[in-house]
Amino acid sequence: MKRKIIFIIVIGILLTIFGCKDKTDPYQIINSGFEDGMTGWTTSMEEPDLIRTDITYDGHRKYMKEGSAFLSTKSLTEGIEITSSPFKIGGLGKISFLISGNTLENAYVELINHETDEVLLTADSELYDGIVFVDNFTRVIWDATPFMDLEVTIRITDHDPSGYIIVDDFDAKIESDEEHASYIDDVLLRSGIKTDDLLMSAEHYINLYKYRINPETRYTYHVMGEMGWINDPNGFVYFQDEYHLFYQHHPYSSMWGPMHWGHVKSDDLVKWEYLPIAVAPIVLDAGGGAAFSGSAIDIDGELYIIYTENWIGYQHQVIAKSEDGIHFEMLNEGLPVIDESDLPFYANPIDFRDPKIFKHDDLYYSVIGSRQINNFGQVLLFSSANLMDWEYVGPVIQGSINSIYKLGYMFECPDIFELNGIDVLLMSPQQIPGHRNTHGTVYVTGDLNYQTGMLDGWTLDQIQEIDYGFDFYAPQTMVDDQGRRIMVAWMQSWNRSPMTAQYGWAGAMTIPRVITLDAENKLIQYPIEEIENYRSNIQSYEETVSGMVDTDLDGNTIDIELKFYPTTGKSGITLFGDALGNGTHVYYQDGYIYMDRTDSMNGRHSGDFYNITKAPVQIQEDGSIDLRILLDRFSIEVFINGGQQAITSTIYGSNATDSIYLFSEQDTLFEMSHWDLVVE
């Protein structure tokens, strides 16, 4: 009997605690984020299909929802009312939620007095501009303090057959100032306004406004930002069976500004997927702050990036890592791992940037661009056993008064690697007197001494330009799973304003190029073979030309293989051409391949110095020259005799100027294959 009494008492206590207590918080909405479908909500229709779990709309633009589910009336063709469970206004008296859609005048969210059905507050989406549907969620914060402890409901109404409403993440129990402040920050973020969370600010801004960029004004197969400015390639790496490419990015403008790291990935180096902004400045205010260039390395399945943080002109190196290659955490609490205290006395700490990391034997190394205190450039080598503690090894290469006309001053974006047992150094010298771009890109070969840090065996005469065009800078390389050394560079120039800025973006990357050394240690570069998978509609042309001939071929997103047998005078091809023969001219004359883009600049950057360039070439044994030419709306890349030389330039093209002509001052045989490049 005693045991029975004890059992009854225990059961009573449990019923008192659990059975008799209201399981529902009276100050919160049941299923406020629609994660449990329509539980807790009632509708004026029978079993409507309202719950969505999409991540993006229009195939790429993010909803920026919370959780996995949200409510949308987009699929409905008749009116509906959706009502929440009753709740009381409590906490700070604030109610927050996400809203979007084409709401026009008859789709909205209301706060309703549950007893009287009086409408207390109303909100609709402010993003729809009458032309473009923008389904990014924005956040609303209602001040419901006049209705404290009143029992209310949320009513979602869509009485517009041509409109719809999308909602998510209702929170009717905001109990702290910190929670309220976080919602205020989210309001700003989702409105494209920068907050202290610089990484999230940039990502939200892009997702909110990238719809403004007309797809017809974008490249089709070259990496570019979703909007805004980009420059140097960063963190080019093969990681978890995919190619990752980061880039200097200012999403808020088509002009250079405080740098972030944009991010794309690909499985074939042609079709790229945009990923979230990877890096934002650690500190940003009127005094400076920017995440400058750097590199990446895969260590035991984790991706490490080391890059330059710029602060009031002084530059130091920081490091972060990622398990998925997408989301990064700062190491060393974001503090420098290499700073001015690690520099030799002859280095200027104001210019100290662009670390390229690699491993040799059991140590990690980094080459970093620098300027000497005498103002000439240099590349410095550092070593580390753990990526956190670095030691200065020595100067890889240093400029002087004797090298000024080849190497100018500050050396940016160095990269060093081995090909065929030879060490190859790439770098981008600045302020080269008389250079067509002011800043250049060069390479030199030698033997890197890991004890002294010096590149032995090089001479000034050996330094060569990598690309002879107007728009090639800051190349970076990586090795993929096929053992290929692949290079990509910024396809733009510093000293000229980008012509595409009017379209809301500026800057792009070159086509990735496989690089090798020939028997004389000359750099050979050629487009990755994967681009050939996107060729279609082959057309062939063969003719002996004297004068100018219309090939009846056209296109501004094409791949051309051209062989011709020049004699004396000019002979070549006109691209982006019109009926008058204007266009971008690529031709041979007196030992050089010239590119003349004067007609394709729409009057911008006038003068031969900014529009005509040339690369030295040797005619092949059979008397021919081979050209591989890739066009992509605003760019032209020319590879000469299998990649012995390259010329890369941007142009100002249009669909009205895409004809192709051949010309020669003497009878010249031309053989051409022409493909459309279709990358969707």
For 184, other C-beta atoms within 10 Å of its C-beta total 14
Inter-residue contact 643 to 468 (CB < 8 Å): no
What is d(CA 562, CA 582) in angstroms, rounded to the nearest whole number? 20
Element (H, E) at 540: strand 535-554
Quick count: other Cβ atoms within 10 Å of Cβ 15? 11
Q: Give the contacts of 671 (CB within 8 A, at least 6 positions apart).
A: 541, 542, 562, 563, 564
Distance, in Å, from the CA atom of 136 to the CA atom of 573, rounded to the nearest integer, reads 47
List of residues 6+ apart from 47 with CB closer than 8 A: none
Q: In whole angstroms, what separates CA 441 from the centre of its chain?
A: 22
User: What tokens appear for 525 in the block?
Assistant: 């570069």
**CA separation for the pair 614, 249 (Å, rounded):** 31
Q: What is the DSSP string of 665-676?
A: EEEEEEEEEEEE
Rg (CA), the chain: 31
Report the SS3 class of residue 401.
helix
In sequence order, the β-bridge partners of residue 151 are 88
Token code pair at residue 414: 């160095």
Beta bridge partners of 297: 304
| CA atoms within 13 Å, Cβ hemisphere of 82 | 26
- What is the three-state SS of 73-116? CCCCCCCEEEECCCEECCCCCEEEEEEECCCCCCEEEEEEECCC
Is-contact 597 611, C-beta < 8 A?
A: yes
SS3 per-residue string spanning 460-471? HHHCEECCCCCC
Q: Are strands 659-677 and 571-577 parallel, antiparallel or unpaired?
A: antiparallel
Q: Who contacts 215 (Cβ-Cβ below 8 Å, separation ≥6)?
A: none
- Is 310 in contact with 318 (CB distance < 8 Å)? no
Q: Which residues contact 22 (CB under 8 A, 6 or more apart)?
A: none
The whole-angstrom separation of Cα 395 and Cα 350 is: 17
Instruction: Write out the two tokens for 650.
Output: 């941007």
* Per-residue H/E/C for 26-91: CCCCCCCCCCCCCCCCEECCCCCCCEECCCEECCCEECCCCCCCEEECCCCCCCEEEECCCEECCC
**Which amino acid does the sequence have at 158?**
D
Structure tokens at 543: 């003719």
User: 232 catalytic, yes or no?
Assistant: yes
Q: What are the tokens at 17?
A: 């605690």
Nearest to 542 by CA among 463, 624, 598: 624
* Sign of the torsion formed by the C-alpha atoms of 502, 507, 511 and 517: positive
Angle ∠(466,292,188) on CA atoms, nearest 5: 135
Find the catalytic residue in 232, 415, 599, 658: 232
Query: Which amino acids are annotated catalytic?
Result: 232
